[in-house]
Structure 1
Amino acid sequence: MFKVTFKFGSGEDVTTFAQEGENLLDVARKTNVAIDAPCGGNASCGKCKVKLVDGELDSPKTRHISDEEYGNGWRLACVSKIMGDVAVEVPDIASAYRSRMKVADLSSKEEIAIFENAKNDLEAAGLALTNSMEILEISMEVPSLDDTMPDNERLVRAIKKQTGATSVRLPYQVLTKMARVFRDSHFEVRCVARTSSAGDIFVYDVYPKDAEVVIGGLAIDIGTTTVSALLINMLTGEIIGKASAGNGQIRYGADVINRIIESMKPGGSKKLQEAIIEETINPLIEQMCRASGFLPEHIYRMAVAANTTMNHLMAGMEGDPIRMEPYIPTFYKTNSLFASDIGIHINRDAHIIIAPNIGSYVGGDITAGTLVSMLWNRPEFSLFIDLGTNGELVFGNSDFMMSCACSAGPAFEGGDISCGMRATDGAIEACTIDKKTMDPSYSVIGKEGEKPIGLCGSGIIDVIAELFRTGIINPKGKFVREGKRVRHDEYGMGSYVLAFEEEAGSVKDVEINEVDIDNFIRAKGAIFSAIRTMLASIDFEVEMIDDVYVAGGIGSGINMENAVRIGMFPDIPIEKFHYIGNSSLAGAYTMLLSRDAERKCYDLASNMTYLELSTVPSYMDEFVACCFIPHTDTSLFPSSVQES
């Protein structure tokens, strides 16, 4: 056995032991050390770079590491084998997906604006902001030698008499505490209960009559890259806590296909489930509860919005049928999950509401997003776009809706980009470039003076648009200008340096290269070709779009002009575009808060037409035509042509 030490910039080393010949990335995974490997560890992405500090590794040089880098100790973790005691440095960019769990400052109006707007919009549409959770004030006769009815029957009879319920269910954890609570409060209690549409009552908890009781609810958006959560008061809708973190499954691959493949290996399903629940969701709950002084066992209901694969992996179900023809998942909708079934650390009897999936690759996150985008309540023709590892689209109005999904890849969330990262501290989220000097000006997420360590999605859009606007790259994404920030490696591949090592918060320059740009061109091409293909299938033109609602947590917002400039969005008036943030989490929040909203979400999923793009012969031609900046047909982007 050999000692393996992972070193981080924070100074918090992690040490473990490994057998000779073990793969370094596998050792990191087993030790719960986050090293980004979007390709799943097959050496195709080059993002699992670590720096050899001490000892030795059996590690060949790959195309992702230059001679100079290799000489300085840089290695790919996925192709490195343990040969003896070893210490490696894990740079910030390699662990950015998992680092810096963020607990939001709820005093910031921007943090809660989207949720307040969602509530107001749904209420204006006639949906009541009421749910099935309530606090029942119950008084019972004190038992005596003449009244020997047991505690459970006494409570059930009192609840039925007071509410008219047809049946009352008391779970095990209520039974275990009834005796003490009843006698301490002289048989006057407060019950946390849920009433079903059939009039049945489920009692989650009992408290003494004078106890202060808050019914907590948990809303979660499980993205392929990022997981976000809200802790709320179910009775008032008040947001008690908000937090986000990287999805712990990221080390098994950046996309759902790699994760499904990993889940089918021996013990894989359990590893994927533990990564999302034990390493991501439960720590988020713990952080929010600690910050707000709330007890996790007082969370009695949970709503999840996620894509179809994430739903299945969270539930510990097989995902392989999702990726195999005829692409049939275990469920599109289900009401059968409870917290104790899958190990969520809240009240064990908490019911888990899952936003319904529409297809194998259009999930509940899109249904929830469509709910709060309000497409279904407007006569105008609107387009809803959720930018993530998969690009999902919904087009329609109050009369019809159609959806589709395209494989954009992880580029919008920093994957497939050498300096890419999720939208967390240290990420460049906006950028402009001086046309004459080619020097950048950028804003970085985090506290004032935060140094950049990489680019998040909105920053990538800005940088590529600015490189094109200033003539530094051509429509193919190749560098055509020279300067101190433009350089070429030994193979002739060009790159642009946003921050040199001394300016950056990392151990390397922050730069974007031609491979990165090519990956992003394909990602933006997938979005625009999907828009064109879906509209063409119903004889619509892009000029007929009245509004575009863009969602996704890729930064504080998207510069829509830049998104149009590079050919990602259609060239229509900028005022038609609206960035609505994390609509998936907002949808989960409203489903939690409103029974009407929950029902509406199911109704939307049932009535939405799903278009499978792979069955449309013209889609691939559209996609190939989009793999230019802005497009091979420049007449589609007159504003970009005029600028250039």
Structure 2
Amino acid sequence: MFKVTFQVQGGNTVEAFANEGEKILQIAQRSNVAIDAPCSGNGSCGKCRVKLLSGELDSKQTRHITDEEYAEGWRLACCSTVVGDVTLEVPDIASAYRSRMKVADLSSGEEVQIFENSRKQVIDAGIEQKNNMEVLDVVMNVPSLEDTMPDNERLMRAVSRETGIAHVTIPYSVMVKLARVLRDSQFHVKCVVRKISSDVFIYDIFPSTEQVVIGGLAVDIGTTTVSAILVNMVTGEIIGKASSGNGQIRYGADVINRIIEASRPGGRKRLQDAVVKETINPLVAEMCKASGFKANHIYRMSVASNTTMNHLLMGVYADPIRMEPYIPTFYKTNSLFASDIGICIHPDAHIIVSPNIGSYVGGDITAGAFISMIWNRPETSLFIDLGTNGELVLGNSDFLISCACSAGPAFEGGDISCGMRATDGAIEACTIDFETMEPSFSIIGDPGTKPVGLCGSGLIDVIAELYINGIINSKGKFIRDGRRIKHDKYGMGSYVLAFEEDAGSVRDVEITEVDIDNFIRAKGAIFSAVRTMLNYLDYTVDMIDDVYVAGGIGSGINMRNAVNIGMLPDIPQDKFHYIGNSSLTGAYMELLSTSAEKKVYEVASNMTYLELSTVPTYMDEFVASCFLPHTDTRLFPSVTVKNE
């Protein structure tokens, strides 16, 4: 038995004990030490870097570690095993999913405009913007020797008179503070209530002089990124907005690896803690801190996430999702409360969970399809959510059909050596000069922010520019030489976007042929799903009237470049619309509007799920799509490559 000491940069020191031959990554995961491992430890991503400070490891050098870095002590945690006592440094970038939490500045209005636009569309569709939460002003008689009614009955009768509803529920959280609040306020109080036709539920009670705001929380739990907004439930005002990486990322970048981890002893608790304690609760705390709002004044929560994330959030056994015939524990549930899973808001807050419709098409898509409004239009539209799992919905007001494909985490920065989420330091747009091959790009953050990596929208631009300018061929291999083209000792090429001295990191910001290959597979999964769905319905591309693209991959994507690389169909540009994080926007509308919540359930029930693995032609379509732009160039007549 040997001692392994993890010195987390800027954090705590964690000591663990391990047997000879155990992998460092497994020890870290068991000890709750955050090491980024998108590939779940198979050695392909090169992101689980640790630095050997003392002791010895059995660690082979991979292509991800240069000779200089190896000499400095850098190792991959997934490729290193214990042979004795050892001390390791875990760099800050390894836990970037936590340290790069982004709290939005709402003062400019740009961050909230997309929510306002969507809200207007929903109103225009005739969906009432009303929920059953409100603040009641309640006055009661002060007790006396002649009037000895207990406090709870006094309050229930007063609320019943105020609302005209006979049945009133006072939960434990209100009961314990009832006597003090009533007497401090001379029996004139404000009650936060949920009012339906047959019941009034009292969430909280305050003195009548206190300003009371009913808070709501909408959360999009993505496989890679978690985004949240804090909302005034009465006015719809967005009080706070924040995002961070999903803490589960260290157990793998895709849902399958996380399901496997969850099936191991203690795995469900580890995965649940990673998303609740390490991700959602810190997001809530940061938003409340920035806005001066109290977390226990959040009385309702809405969640939109894929089927696997829903199960892992609740700590539900998820293994059947990945096993034929792919049956989840639930598609719909309305019985979840904050205290059930440890969300640090009001303990009695009801959690609205957007309904799933298949093992791999979840509530994030039903919420997103609702916001896209394709269900309310006679024209045939295509809705695409670009994330770790690419999900698509095709249809109109008469029919809806959906499918999911495993795009991998490339659109959110995973599986890409310089990939990152759309946060400060991310290159979100890029052009490359044909003659000089020099890049020009825009970076998320304040003026002067140095580039750290590429987010999804920047990745699309870079690969499209490399291809259109003849720097890479249709297979993603470099075919031109220049100052920014490098080759390592294995012959693998790369393009340097920012040299070390100009970058905000300790190395060049570059994209490699392996990165490009990973991305080509991701974009190929999307386009082959589009083709398969169209063929299944005997539709052609020209029958698509509009394409709505969603996903938190940046401030938006260049649709022309998305066509140039063969990710989206080659149709007129005015048919494409980027609608941002539709999953979060849908969760926001479900939070604010009971009618919208019901409509999402209706949209889900009317949606047909197409399992791509059962369609014989899907794999052929996928293989054909794994080129730039495609093996059949007739599908992309507008794409041209510049000649030297």
Listed as ranges, the gaps of 5+ residues in structure 1 are none
In structure 1, C-alpha distance between the alignment counterparts of 2:159 and 2:568, rounded to whole Å: 57
Q: Superposed, which structure 2 residues align to 1:29-108 within 5 Å?
A: 29-30=29-30, 32-82=32-82, 83-88=84-89, 90=91, 92=93, 94-108=94-108
Over residues 430-472 of structure 1, what are the superposed CA-to-partner deviations in whole Å (9 max), with x where a residue is unaligned?
1111111111112222222222221111111111101101111
In structure 2, C-alpha distance between the alignment counterparts of 1:36 and 1:183, rounded to whole Å: 53
Which of 7, 14, 19 pairs up with 2:17?
A: 19
Q: Superposed, which structure 2 residues align to 1:1-12 within 5 Å?
A: 2=3, 4-6=5-7, 8=9, 12=10
Asked if the contact 1:91–1:507 (Cα under 8 Å) also holds between the matched residues in 2, the reply is no
Q: Which residue pairs with 1:364 in the alignment?
A: 363
Q: Which residue pairs with 1:179 in the alignment?
A: 179
In structure 2, C-alpha distance between the alignment counterparts of 1:7 and 1:364, rounded to whole Å: 36
Q: Which residue pairs with 2:195 in the alignment?
A: 195
In structure 2, C-alpha distance between the alignment counterparts of 1:3 and 1:268, rounded to whole Å: 22
In structure 2, C-alpha distance between the alignment counterparts of 1:576 and 1:96, rounded to whole Å: 37
Instruction: Note if 1:142 corresponds to 2:142.
Output: yes
C-alpha deviation, 1:106, in angstroms = 0.6
Name the % identity: 70
Asked if the contact 1:184–1:208 (Cα under 8 Å) also holds between the matched residues in 2, the reply is yes
- AA aligned opposite 1:78: C
Over residues 80-104 of structure 1, what are the superposed CA-to-partner deviations in whole Å (9 max), with x where a residue is unaligned?
2343342436263x44333221111
Q: Which residue pairs with 1:410 in the alignment?
A: 409
Q: Which residue pairs with 2:535 in the alignment?
A: 536
Over residues 509-528 of structure 1, what are the superposed CA-to-partner deviations in whole Å (9 max), with x where a residue is unaligned?
11111111111111100000
Instruction: Note if 1:110 corresponds to 2:110.
Output: yes
- AA aligned opposite 1:50: V
Moved more, 345-354 or 487-496: 487-496
In structure 1, C-alpha distance between the alignment counterparts of 2:162 and 2:458, rounded to whole Å: 58
Instruction: Note if 1:499 corresponds to 2:498.
Output: yes
Q: Which residue pairs with 2:440 in the alignment?
A: 441
Q: Taking structure 1 as reference, are residues 3 and 406 closer, same or farther at Cα in structure 2, changes over 3 Å only?
A: closer
Moved more, 561-570 or 396-405: 396-405
Over residues 298-338 of structure 1, what are the superposed CA-to-partner deviations in whole Å (9 max), with x where a residue is unaligned?
11000000001001100010110111111111111100000
Moved more, 349-358 or 175-184: 175-184
Instruction: Note if 1:336 corresponds to 2:332.
Output: no
C-alpha deviation, 1:79, in angstroms = 2.0
In structure 2, C-alpha distance between the alignment counterparts of 1:249 and 1:107, rounded to whole Å: 31
In structure 2, C-alpha distance between the alignment counterparts of 1:379 and 1:282, rounded to whole Å: 42
Over residues 589-628 of structure 1, what are the superposed CA-to-partner deviations in whole Å (9 max), with x where a residue is unaligned?
0100011100100100011111111111111111111011
Q: Which residue pairs with 1:250 in the alignment?
A: 249
Asked if the contact 1:96–1:421 (Cα under 8 Å) also holds between the matched residues in 2, the reply is no
Asked if the contact 2:305–2:364 (Cα under 8 Å) also holds between the matched residues in 1, the reply is yes
Asked if the contact 1:3–1:15 (Cα under 8 Å) also holds between the matched residues in 2, the reply is no
In structure 1, C-alpha distance between the alignment counterparts of 2:279 and 2:147, rounded to whole Å: 50
In structure 2, C-alpha distance between the alignment counterparts of 1:171 and 1:210, rounded to whole Å: 23
Over residues 144-183 of structure 1, what are the superposed CA-to-partner deviations in whole Å (9 max), with x where a residue is unaligned?
2222221111211222222221311110011111111112
SS at match of 2:640: helix
Q: Which residue pairs with 1:216 in the alignment?
A: 215
Asked if the contact 2:393–2:403 (Cα under 8 Å) also holds between the matched residues in 1, the reply is yes
Instruction: Note if 1:462 corresponds to 2:471.
Output: no
- AA aligned opposite 2:334: N
In structure 2, C-alpha distance between the alignment counterparts of 1:555 and 1:27, rounded to whole Å: 34
The alignment's C-alpha RMSD in Å is: 1.7
Q: Which residue pairs with 2:153 in the alignment?
A: 153
Q: Taking structure 1 as reference, are residues 399 and 286 closer, same or farther at Cα in structure 2, changes over 3 Å only?
A: same
In structure 2, C-alpha distance between the alignment counterparts of 1:34 and 1:465, rounded to whole Å: 34
Q: Taking structure 1 as reference, are residues 60 and 642 closer, same or farther at Cα in structure 2, changes over 3 Å only?
A: closer
In structure 1, C-alpha distance between the alignment counterparts of 2:405 and 2:593, rounded to whole Å: 31
Q: Which residue pairs with 1:510 in the alignment?
A: 509
Over residues 461-498 of structure 1, what are the superposed CA-to-partner deviations in whole Å (9 max), with x where a residue is unaligned?
11110110111100111111111211222222211111
C-alpha deviation, 1:141, in angstroms = 2.3
Q: Which residue pairs with 1:616 in the alignment?
A: 615
C-alpha deviation, 1:261, in angstroms = 0.3
Q: TM-score, normalising length from structure 2?
A: 0.96
Asked if the contact 1:389–1:409 (Cα under 8 Å) also holds between the matched residues in 2, the reply is yes
Over residues 181-208 of structure 1, what are the superposed CA-to-partner deviations in whole Å (9 max), with x where a residue is unaligned?
1122222221110012x42111101112
SS at match of 1:502: helix
In structure 2, C-alpha distance between the alignment counterparts of 1:377 and 1:334, rounded to whole Å: 25
Moved more, 181-190 or 16-25: 16-25
In structure 1, C-alpha distance between the alignment counterparts of 2:516 and 2:95, rounded to whole Å: 22
Q: Which residue pairs with 1:125 in the alignment?
A: 125
Q: Taking structure 1 as reference, are residues 496 and 233 closer, same or farther at Cα in structure 2, changes over 3 Å only?
A: same
C-alpha deviation, 1:108, in angstroms = 2.1
Q: Taking structure 1 as reference, are residues 121 and 55 closer, same or farther at Cα in structure 2, changes over 3 Å only?
A: same
- AA aligned opposite 2:473: N
In structure 1, C-alpha distance between the alignment counterparts of 2:144 and 2:68, rounded to whole Å: 86
SS at match of 2:229: strand
In structure 1, C-alpha distance between the alignment counterparts of 2:402 and 2:489, rounded to whole Å: 45
In structure 2, C-alpha distance between the alignment counterparts of 1:371 and 1:71, rounded to whole Å: 54
Q: Taking structure 1 as reference, are residues 507 and 32 closer, same or farther at Cα in structure 2, changes over 3 Å only?
A: farther
Q: Which residue pairs with 2:310 in the alignment?
A: 311
In structure 1, C-alpha distance between the alignment counterparts of 2:123 and 2:398, rounded to whole Å: 20
In structure 2, C-alpha distance between the alignment counterparts of 1:292 and 1:158, rounded to whole Å: 33
In structure 1, C-alpha distance between the alignment counterparts of 2:268 and 2:568, rounded to whole Å: 37
Q: Taking structure 1 as reference, are residues 520 and 490 closer, same or farther at Cα in structure 2, changes over 3 Å only?
A: same
Asked if the contact 1:54–1:88 (Cα under 8 Å) also holds between the matched residues in 2, the reply is no
In structure 2, C-alpha distance between the alignment counterparts of 1:3 and 1:256, rounded to whole Å: 29
Q: Taking structure 1 as reference, are residues 216 and 579 closer, same or farther at Cα in structure 2, changes over 3 Å only?
A: same
SS at match of 1:4: strand
Q: Taking structure 1 as reference, are residues 506 and 28 closer, same or farther at Cα in structure 2, changes over 3 Å only?
A: farther
Asked if the contact 1:35–1:48 (Cα under 8 Å) also holds between the matched residues in 2, the reply is yes
- AA aligned opposite 2:147: D
In structure 1, C-alpha distance between the alignment counterparts of 2:190 and 2:6, rounded to whole Å: 53
In structure 2, C-alpha distance between the alignment counterparts of 1:299 and 1:177, rounded to whole Å: 17
Moved more, 420-429 or 330-339: 420-429
Q: TM-score, normalising length from structure 1?
A: 0.96
Over residues 514-572 of structure 1, what are the superposed CA-to-partner deviations in whole Å (9 max), with x where a residue is unaligned?
11111111110000010011011111111111111111011111011110000000011
Moved more, 99-108 or 360-369: 99-108
Listed as ranges, the gaps of 5+ residues in structure 2 are none
Q: Taking structure 1 as reference, are residues 603 and 6 closer, same or farther at Cα in structure 2, changes over 3 Å only?
A: same
Q: Taking structure 1 as reference, are residues 643 and 395 closer, same or farther at Cα in structure 2, changes over 3 Å only?
A: farther
Q: Which residue pairs with 1:378 in the alignment?
A: 377
Q: Taking structure 1 as reference, are residues 469 and 271 closer, same or farther at Cα in structure 2, changes over 3 Å only?
A: same
Q: Which residue pairs with 2:523 in the alignment?
A: 524
Asked if the contact 2:189–2:206 (Cα under 8 Å) also holds between the matched residues in 1, the reply is yes
Q: Taking structure 1 as reference, are residues 411 and 345 closer, same or farther at Cα in structure 2, changes over 3 Å only?
A: same
Asked if the contact 2:6–2:88 (Cα under 8 Å) also holds between the matched residues in 1, the reply is yes
Moved more, 568-577 or 198-207: 198-207
In structure 2, C-alpha distance between the alignment counterparts of 1:61 and 1:211, rounded to whole Å: 63
